[in-house]
Structure 1
Amino acid sequence: MSLSLIELESDATGAAPRASVIVLHGLGADGNDFVPVVRRLRLDEVGPVRFVLPDAPERPVTRNGGYVMRAWFDLYAPGAGQEAEADVRASQALVDALIAREIERGVPASRIVLMGFSQGCAMALVTGLRHPQRLAGVIALSGYLPLADRTAEERSDASRDLPVFMAHGRQDDVVVMPRATAAREVLESLAVPCEWHEYDIGHEVSLEEIRDINQWLLRVLA
């Protein structure tokens, strides 16, 4: 793997994981960003779960004055498009490789969840909807859907009943609510089963949201 990453397991006994959750961070963060969230999840009913928290590649981000930071794709200046398609496709391949790695280690695709925040949310949706094998589900937090106009033609047959948990803060001024609801509308138009949640927060994750994520994971990994 070309990505550095953190791995955590919910069971300290060393038992083989029964499921994996791949967690994709947002712009300028790294794999450490969601360690506190992962540690709050209680999935004992599922059995041992492996959490994989990769670091995005470092790249100049146009919207941030060319400053080099961890980013799944470049963001252009407002009015000049939202994201670099070539970067999105390249990061999709990286996430696909992470999925393949979990499968090689004995976790079937049907027991793998993609979870992402902001840019990571974007990549979780792009990858999950196109993956040739049906995953356990996608958790899409405070983000949106890149390449939305390509989704219908590029989605895999395997993703047609892919469960999606979508959540957004009503006060989010980084990824504004209409971008999230537009993503939800695309999923609904494709009959993707999408569970929608709103919270009175900004561009962040709340304790209430973590509790809802926990309950959703217990259902899709039951």
Structure 2
Amino acid sequence: MGMRMPGWYDILSLSDLDGRQEDEQGIMRSRTVLQGLIDAEIEKGIPAERIVLGGFSQGGAMSLVAGLSYKRKLGGIFGLSCWLLLQGNSKYMDLVKETSNANEKTKVFMGHGDADQVVQYKWGQKTAEILKKEGWDVDFRTYRGLPHSADPEEIDDLEKYLDKQIPPLGDAKLEKESL
């Protein structure tokens, strides 16, 4: 019996990335929840291209799966200290194909510490390599000596990514609101 850490899905194992069991049912359930949250924001009038989905560790892993397989193009997708779910059977690609790969041009930001003791650095690297091979534009950044955590340099890089992906609306927003 593996370690059980309730969250977005049960983590059955954090050992071998390729051969480990995954809680596919839990992952799919969480994907539905996250995509439902995006749908709700769009219904409120937020354009999909101004929505960024991202997270840290388990949240980052979920953001990659839910974001890459979302039906409309998002403003951005990021994952910090995370890995790609459902890659053993390439199930994530089946999910992406169901949406006609709406996010194939969405820039992906990934950050990972090379001293991560929980989610191995090589998992983050491998995830970026797999996504690049599948055609996504992935900016993978390494943070020297960083354990399973975030640091100011990583947050600064993420902020620059967000500013680029969803630039401030500036005066255009003010003009629209005054109409």
Aligned equivalent of 1:76, options 12, 18, 39 = 12
Equivalent residues in 2 for 1:24-103, closer than 5 Å: 63-64=2-3, 66=4, 70-77=6-13, 78=15, 81-103=20-42
Equivalent residues in 2 for 1:100-139, closer than 5 Å: 100-139=39-78
RMSD: 1.6
Aligned equivalent of 1:173, options 117, 126, 134 = 117
Matched, 1:153 2:98: no
For 2:147 and 2:21, locate their aligned partners in 1 and report how far apart those are by CA, in whole Å. 20
For 1:175 and 1:114, locate their aligned partners in 2 and report how far apart those are by CA, in whole Å. 20
One-letter amino acid of the counterpart of residue 220, structure 1: Q
Equivalent residues in 2 for 1:177-188, closer than 5 Å: 177-188=121-132
Name the residue aligned to 1:216: 161
Equivalent position SS for 2:2: helix
Comparing both structures, which one devotes a greater share of its residues to strand? 1
For 1:138 and 1:152, locate their aligned partners in 2 and report how far apart those are by CA, in whole Å. 16
Aligned length: 158
For 1:70 and 1:153, locate their aligned partners in 2 and report how far apart those are by CA, in whole Å. 26
TM-score, scaled to structure 2: 0.82
Name the residue aligned to 1:26: none
For 1:205 and 1:150, locate their aligned partners in 2 and report how far apart those are by CA, in whole Å. 29
- String of CA shifts for 1:146-182, please: whole Å, max 9, x gaps: 0122233331321111110000000001000111111
- String of CA shifts for 1:76-115, please: whole Å, max 9, x gaps: 1457724200100000000011101111111111110011
8 A Cα contact 2:52 2:74, kept in partner: yes
Equivalent position SS for 2:102: helix
8 A Cα contact 2:125 2:140, kept in partner: no
Equivalent position SS for 2:54: strand
Equivalent position SS for 1:63: coil
Aligned equivalent of 2:149, options 187, 196, 204 = 204
Equivalent position SS for 1:188: helix
Identity %: 34
Cα displacement (A) at 1:70: 4.4
TM-score, scaled to structure 1: 0.67
For 2:113 and 2:29, locate their aligned partners in 1 and report how far apart those are by CA, in whole Å. 28
One-letter amino acid of the counterpart of residue 162, structure 2: L
One-letter amino acid of the counterpart of residue 73, structure 1: Y
For 1:151 and 1:186, locate their aligned partners in 2 and report how far apart those are by CA, in whole Å. 11
Name the residue aligned to 1:7: none
For 2:134 and 2:93, locate their aligned partners in 1 and report how far apart those are by CA, in whole Å. 7
Q: 5+ unaligned residues in a row in structure 2: which ranges?
A: 168-179
